[in-house]
Structure 1
Amino acid sequence: MTTRFLLILSFFLFPLFSSCGKSDSPVGNEKEDIDDKDPFLAEHPRLLFSAAEEERVRELMVTDPLMKELSVYLREEAQKLIGADQYPYKTGTSALLTAARDYVYRLITLSLAYRMFEEQSFLKESETILEWICKYPDWNKVHFLDTAEMTIAVSIAYDWLYHDLSPEIRQKAKNCILQHALLIALKEYKNGDEGSWAKRETNWNVVCNTGMSFGALAISEDYPDLAKEIIDNAVKYIPNCLKHFQPDGVCYEGPSYWEYTTMHLAMFLKLLNDNFKTDYGLGELPGISKTARYYVNTVSPSDQVFNFADSPEDYPVYKSPVFFFYSKYYNQPEVASWYRALIQKHVINKKENPKWHFFLCIPWYDNAPSTVVTPNKLQVFYGVNDIFVFNGDTAAGSLFLVGKGADPDMAHQHLDGGSFMIESEGVRWTDETGAEKYNLPGFWDYSASGLRWSYFRNTNQAHNTVTINDEIQYPLGRAFIKEADIQSEEPQVVLEMTTLYPNTNKFTRTFKQQDANTIVLTDDITLLSTSDIIRWSIVTKKTVKTDENRAILTSGDKKLYLTILEPQGAKFFTKEAETNSANEKPIHGFTLLQFEHSGERINTLKVKMSSIND
């Protein structure tokens, strides 16, 4: 990371810090006088939702129809939490992380419900949870994500309920934040190397630094110097991760980690702005202002998510309040409009409770009106993983396709260069098999010979792309958008994939939208040897019927038709997807639709995918 944030945040919460002139400016900001800024929120609550913001929320609960429904839902869900079983202390697995995330949900929900409805049962249950968590001997510092999320949970309840908590519970919570989190963090900032949770370039950085900032601000009146040091370091190191969002907001770690990272970033930016009246340039880093629009535009018309990288199978669309935060922060009302519709459809109508941070959608609610934005037929989003999206139209049978490049040796990546998801009429036709078990031997070895690439789900053989000689894509190669013709009536995007295939002199994959119902996929491959065997493949859960060069995918009364246009004589066949070893997570219900070609050095594989049987 070349840009360093040398911040001297000596104007802190209150007069305990004296003014100090100027600080070095982060990217995107001119130098600012810290001592010219308004004092930040010296009183509790000061985390994410101030007392001054309550009046607006209460008004919206009366005047806004969706907000009315959300307030009813909040009370209902808070009542369900009364008397719920507590999590026993366990480490060594994901048990404590699971507990921490549920406690984030419980304490946001209960604390917010108490602030909105002033029912004592919500306060008492919050105290019960805090007392239980504070009995834990630690918050599993060896897996610091657990510590970070537990700190967020306790800090929010401590801050939001500060004036009503019993003195005993308040003291216990403060001590745990200090002992189980902040003192440990200070040592890591001082001694941790570039692989430390505090300084690395992945989601851990943003999540853990945000968690420590919650704790620091929650108890800062008692430990101002410690709090200053925590905030200084968090602002300094979070850009190590954020640099990978440039230029268009893509999170290379996949949609599940996009959600994890951007939600915690949103909370961190809110903490900074509420308390210092600035984000010290973090919100202006390249790609951050575009990231919510990127996500929204890659979700299919039926709310399907292209779950690439280590994202779970059947990963649902994210229903987090992060969209309200970014819509307001960057004046993107269409993002808020999209999210309101999502909440109404999935949460209010279907009662799909996303949990975790969900009820922050109430204090962050954005009711800004938006005009309908019609996307281009082809959209491209550049980044570590280039992403492209083909949009059809609103007519029946219109195709939606989202595909990707690749940089396999980055965190959470698969050998999936050229893979894609295609949908029509609410049916997803191509699938991803999801993430493998994280505790398999060598799972985190991204080197060319790493064991990570021995597991089926992580290889190109489990994705919608090409395999040559039954070999994996080269883990140190890359696929990226070489050309994109966005303005054409028949838009197309060309992926350069040669370095993923060492047995080729040339490999490009071209997606072309012939019309709203038809996309043609062309692979131009120059091999080193005529004996090499090329296998084209897609992964699907749908019923498959093959007939020579044609295949039909069926789901109910919906169909997708595939036709091999080139090479002549190629025939589709199917096989069941299987793991490479008994240690891997079982895989069921996935069919591989494939064809093979060999005998030529210069090859063109062309497949038409259409919702129309012509």
Structure 2
Amino acid sequence: MKKLSVLITFLFVGALAIYSQEGAKMLIHQSSTVVEYLLSEIDSITFKIPETQAAVHPSLFLKKGEEAAMLERIERSPLLSKVHKSLISECAPILRTAVSKYQISANRLLDVSEEVFRRVFLLSYAYRVTGTVSYAVRAEKELLAAARFQDWHPSHWLDTAILLAAMGIGYDWLYDYLSEESRIEIREAIVEKGLNTVWEQGFNQTNNWNSVCNGGMVVAALAVRDVYPELTKKLVEKAVASNPKVLTMYAPDGGYPEGYGYWGYGTTYQCLMSAALIDVYGTDYGLSDYPGFMESARFRQFTTAPTGKCWNYSDCAEAAYISPCVFWMAYRKNDPSLLAVEARYLESTIPYSAGEIFKPFITIYGSRLDLTSVPENSNHFWYSGGVTPIYVYRSGWKETTDTYLGIKGGYAASNHSHMDGGSFCYEYGGVRWSKDLGLQSYGTLESVVTLWDMTDASTRWNVFRLGNSSHSTLTINNKHHKVNGVVFLKDTYMTDKKQGALADMSGLYSEDVDLILRDITLEGNILTIKDSVEAKPTVDCDIQWIMNTEATSEKESDNSLVLSYLTKKMRMVVDAPCDFSLLQLTNVGPNSYDIANSGCRVGVQTKFPAGFKGTITVKLIPIE
């Protein structure tokens, strides 16, 4: 695996030398011939896992006999003590709750799988650290109930993978408590309803499915390795060989194409798999050494904004949350500064998230670090290339009123993406002046639009939250963005006096323009967005400039609006070479399936005649 990591790095650096600047930044674009070659090289490499030795249970994440030392370290940390008490207290309601039942919702068993995982992990943890038998009794009931499900819904193998992880952890952690009859029933279910149903497609993808499917499979296989050594060896080799297809997506520098929310989802299972492999074999075969993977913990920090919200581009909700897998990453790198955001959350409240089902990771790996004084991130800038290049500037890391500017590149056809190329997230004075509406629940859409068809013709793009008309970007001639039109970040500004980036958005409007450059700069407390447009010689361009905001708006003059949010105000001033009108639009979608949205849209409507070249300038100026 080390050789493969070197190969990927070599290919990446070589491509930078061969390609133009734009082409280099497209390196991880899924249609890139370089990536196709790289993935073919991955397919050609096999990995030999050693013969399985006799297993000692528990052996995954928190090994047998490590509980007392962990508890001693937790007691010395106010932050971890708070989490530990929370973990134990969350078990009491589970003891009074009936076991999970097989129930399909929106063609998924996913909610049930995740709830089984949450219950089993919490109860097993509580039993191991307190010795209270009632926790083990209830965990055993949950495990047996899941083992007796009619199936683990292998047609949506994500559901199966998460159940595999839950059953593997429960079997390993409760092994000494479980009767031999229960052990047999649980591990036979792991094999028959999980490991023997392996769904090939999930392991060949370059998105979060790869991490989740491989992660769940590996944890379960390692848990039963002493009884099924050949099956374990075969499946672990399969995982280690196929997993790099998603790891290439973190290259070159840690950006995650699917955004903040799916970073937390996919990366957590990625860490789960690496941690389990290291515990059993002493190595994860170089998986966590892939270019950009461990660096992606910084990506997550920088996509958490000062107000406490995340920058929620793509299919991501706005709420930020603690990510337990960062504790494993910080432990592996011996770098507590990766936990600066988590530490701040733990000092106040622990926001709920899907990642909370992994909360024991916080105390297990956090206790292996000195968290007496978690250092702040000393950097104020982030740039990552790859499939979805982004730029971020944060003026500071301590105050909710710190300034935040995020600028997004990429293309709509990438996994979970929206038509948000060239959009920007802007916070000043504790207000998100430019925002993204984010995720609409898949269950509300899958039956009415072709949600997972990412082509230009897909009805996916008619969904208000997903199309370009709701994002802080441009719409030309009332058309959708071209789904394979890539927005490149051609330049970035990272000085004390000037922050921002220059984006080439031309590919989004290839039928109508020859060039669109968006230059977003922050100088002092004034944000300036300059859109330089060159219309094709034969095409008139109706241009709609939109900024989605949580503020309300009031027209001040023919070229200015005043935006207000509580006691905060911001002036938006417009200059354009052709006649224009100011826009004040609602966030009400046009379709019956569009959900309600907060905030509104402000902007500019203008028209450039065929062949015209000009620049639309919008300034956001705080009213102090």
TM-score, normalised via structure 2 length? 0.87
Contact 1:113/1:122 (8 A) holds in 2? yes
**What CA deviation, in whole Å up to 9, does each residue of 1:117-164 have, x standing for no partner?**
111111111011112112211000000000000111111111101000
Give how far 1:294 is off: 1.2
> Residue 527 of structure 1 corresponds to which residue in structure 2?
535
> Residue 542 of structure 1 corresponds to which residue in structure 2?
551
Paired residue for 2:383, among 380, 384, 387? 380
Give how far 1:599 is off: 3.6
Give how far 1:53 is off: 3.3
> Residue 479 of structure 1 corresponds to which residue in structure 2?
487
Q: Using the alignment, how far apart are the partners of 2:254 and 2:434 within structure 1?
A: 25
Paired residue for 1:139, among 149, 152, 162? 152
**What CA deviation, in whole Å up to 9, does each residue of 1:309-361 have, x standing for no partner?**
1123xx321312111111121233211233222222222xx788963112221
Q: Using the alignment, how far apart are the partners of 1:421 and 1:401 within structure 2?
A: 6
The one-letter amino acid paired with 2:41 is T
Label 1:86 to 1:332 Cα distance change in 2 as closer, same or farther (>3 A): same
> Residue 37 of structure 1 corresponds to which residue in structure 2?
none
Task: Map 1:299-378 to 2 at 5 A.
Answer: 299-312=304-317, 315-347=318-350, 355-365=356-366, 366-368=369-371, 369-376=373-380, 378=381
Contact 1:390/1:513 (8 A) holds in 2? no
Q: Using the alignment, how far apart are the partners of 1:220 and 1:111 within structure 2?
A: 20
Q: Which runs of 5+ in 2 are unaligned?
A: 1-38
Q: Using the alignment, how far apart are the partners of 1:8 and 1:475 within structure 2?
A: 37
> Residue 498 of structure 2 corresponds to which residue in structure 1?
490
> Residue 107 of structure 1 corresponds to which residue in structure 2?
120
The one-letter amino acid paired with 1:2 is S
Label 1:550 to 1:56 Cα distance change in 2 as closer, same or farther (>3 A): farther
**What CA deviation, in whole Å up to 9, does each residue of 1:80-119 have, x standing for no partner?**
2112133331236255200111111111111001101111
Label 1:287 to 1:612 Cα distance change in 2 as closer, same or farther (>3 A): same
**What CA deviation, in whole Å up to 9, does each residue of 1:547-588 have, x standing for no partner?**
232222222112232211444764422121233432x23233
SS of equivalent to 2:134: helix
Q: Which runs of 5+ in 1 are unaligned?
A: 16-41
> Residue 431 of structure 2 corresponds to which residue in structure 1?
427
Q: Using the alignment, how far apart are the partners of 1:157 and 1:110 within structure 2?
A: 9
Contact 1:485/1:491 (8 A) holds in 2? yes
Q: Using the alignment, how far apart are the partners of 1:272 and 1:265 within structure 2?
A: 11
Paired residue for 2:52, among 4, 8, 13? 13
Contact 1:83/1:125 (8 A) holds in 2? no
Q: Using the alignment, how far apart are the partners of 2:385 and 2:49 within structure 1?
A: 38
The one-letter amino acid paired with 2:356 is K
Paired residue for 1:208, among 189, 202, 213? 213
SS of equivalent to 1:201: coil
> Residue 8 of structure 2 corresponds to which residue in structure 1?
none
1:89 aligns with 2:90: no
Q: Using the alignment, how far apart are the partners of 2:192 and 2:359 within structure 1?
A: 28
Label 1:590 to 1:429 Cα distance change in 2 as closer, same or farther (>3 A): same
Give how far 1:433 is off: 2.2
SS of equivalent to 1:364: helix
Give how far 1:7 is off: 4.1
Higher helix share: 2
> Residue 505 of structure 1 corresponds to which residue in structure 2?
514
> Residue 477 of structure 2 corresponds to which residue in structure 1?
469
> Residue 160 of structure 1 corresponds to which residue in structure 2?
173
> Residue 16 of structure 2 corresponds to which residue in structure 1?
none
The one-letter amino acid paired with 1:383 is G
Contact 2:579/2:607 (8 A) holds in 1? no
Q: Which shifted more, 137-146 or 525-534?
A: 525-534
> Residue 559 of structure 1 corresponds to which residue in structure 2?
569
Give how far 1:52 is off: 4.6
Label 1:55 to 1:12 Cα distance change in 2 as closer, same or farther (>3 A): farther
SS of equivalent to 1:267: helix
The one-letter amino acid paired with 1:80 is P
Contact 2:576/2:617 (8 A) holds in 1? yes
> Residue 587 of structure 1 corresponds to which residue in structure 2?
596
Q: Using the alignment, how far apart are the partners of 2:70 and 2:399 within structure 1?
A: 39
**What CA deviation, in whole Å up to 9, does each residue of 1:284-305 have, x standing for no partner?**
1111121001110221112211
Q: Using the alignment, how far apart are the partners of 2:571 and 2:399 within structure 1?
A: 17
> Residue 249 of structure 2 corresponds to which residue in structure 1?
244
Paired residue for 2:88, among 75, 83, 91? 75
Give how far 1:51 is off: 2.1
Label 1:311 to 1:521 Cα distance change in 2 as closer, same or farther (>3 A): same
The one-letter amino acid paired with 1:267 is L
Q: Which shifted more, 123-132 or 524-533?
A: 524-533
Paired residue for 1:418, among 408, 419, 422? 422
Label 1:386 to 1:71 Cα distance change in 2 as closer, same or farther (>3 A): same
SS of equivalent to 2:412: coil
Work out the number of aligned pairs and report it.
572
Contact 1:523/1:604 (8 A) holds in 2? yes
**What CA deviation, in whole Å up to 9, does each residue of 1:455-511 have, x standing for no partner?**
222211011101111111111211011111323621331011111112111111111
Task: Map 1:177-192 to 2 at 5 A.
Answer: 177-185=190-198, 188=199, 192=200
Contact 1:104/1:356 (8 A) holds in 2? yes
Q: Using the alignment, how far apart are the partners of 1:370 and 1:546 within structure 2?
A: 46
Q: Which shifted more, 118-127 or 420-429?
A: 420-429
> Residue 140 of structure 2 corresponds to which residue in structure 1?
127
Label 1:8 to 1:242 Cα distance change in 2 as closer, same or farther (>3 A): closer
SS of equivalent to 1:523: strand
Paired residue for 1:573, among 559, 583, 604? 583
Paired residue for 2:238, among 233, 237, 256? 233
Q: Which shifted more, 111-120 or 429-438?
A: 429-438
Label 1:342 to 1:13 Cα distance change in 2 as closer, same or farther (>3 A): farther
Label 1:542 to 1:251 Cα distance change in 2 as closer, same or farther (>3 A): same
Contact 2:87/2:359 (8 A) holds in 1? no
**What CA deviation, in whole Å up to 9, does each residue of 1:38-61 have, x standing for no partner?**
xxxx30112222125323311113
Label 1:242 to 1:341 Cα distance change in 2 as closer, same or farther (>3 A): same
Label 1:275 to 1:137 Cα distance change in 2 as closer, same or farther (>3 A): same
Contact 2:464/2:594 (8 A) holds in 1? no
The one-letter amino acid paired with 2:165 is I
The one-letter amino acid paired with 2:427 is E
Task: Map 1:50-65 to 2 at 5 A.
Answer: 50-65=63-78
Contact 1:479/1:500 (8 A) holds in 2? yes
The one-letter amino acid paired with 2:359 is F
Contact 2:463/2:594 (8 A) holds in 1? no
Label 1:589 to 1:352 Cα distance change in 2 as closer, same or farther (>3 A): closer
Q: Which shifted more, 447-456 or 504-513?
A: 447-456
**What CA deviation, in whole Å up to 9, does each residue of 1:214-258 have, x standing for no partner?**
111111111000000010000000111111111121111122111
The one-letter amino acid paired with 2:40 is T
Give how far 1:390 is off: 2.1
The one-letter amino acid paired with 2:478 is D
Paired residue for 1:3, among 35, 41, 47? 41
Contact 1:256/1:311 (8 A) holds in 2? yes
Q: Using the alignment, how far apart are the partners of 1:352 and 1:446 within structure 2?
A: 27
Q: Using the alignment, how far apart are the partners of 1:352 and 1:246 within structure 2?
A: 26
Paired residue for 2:61, among 35, 48, 53? 48
SS of equivalent to 1:289: coil
Superposition misfits of 4+ residues, deviation over 4 angstroms? 350-354, 393-398
Q: Using the alignment, how far apart are the partners of 1:247 and 1:481 within structure 2?
A: 15
Contact 2:100/2:116 (8 A) holds in 1? no
Label 1:321 to 1:397 Cα distance change in 2 as closer, same or farther (>3 A): closer
> Residue 402 of structure 1 corresponds to which residue in structure 2?
406
SS of equivalent to 1:114: helix
Contact 1:530/1:598 (8 A) holds in 2? no
Q: Which shifted more, 572-581 or 58-67?
A: 572-581
**What CA deviation, in whole Å up to 9, does each residue of 1:425-481 have, x standing for no partner?**
322222222234351332111122222223222211011101111111111211011
> Residue 268 of structure 1 corresponds to which residue in structure 2?
273
Q: Using the alignment, how far apart are the partners of 1:286 and 1:564 within structure 2?
A: 42
The one-letter amino acid paired with 2:379 is P
SS of equivalent to 1:81: helix
SS of equivalent to 1:448: coil
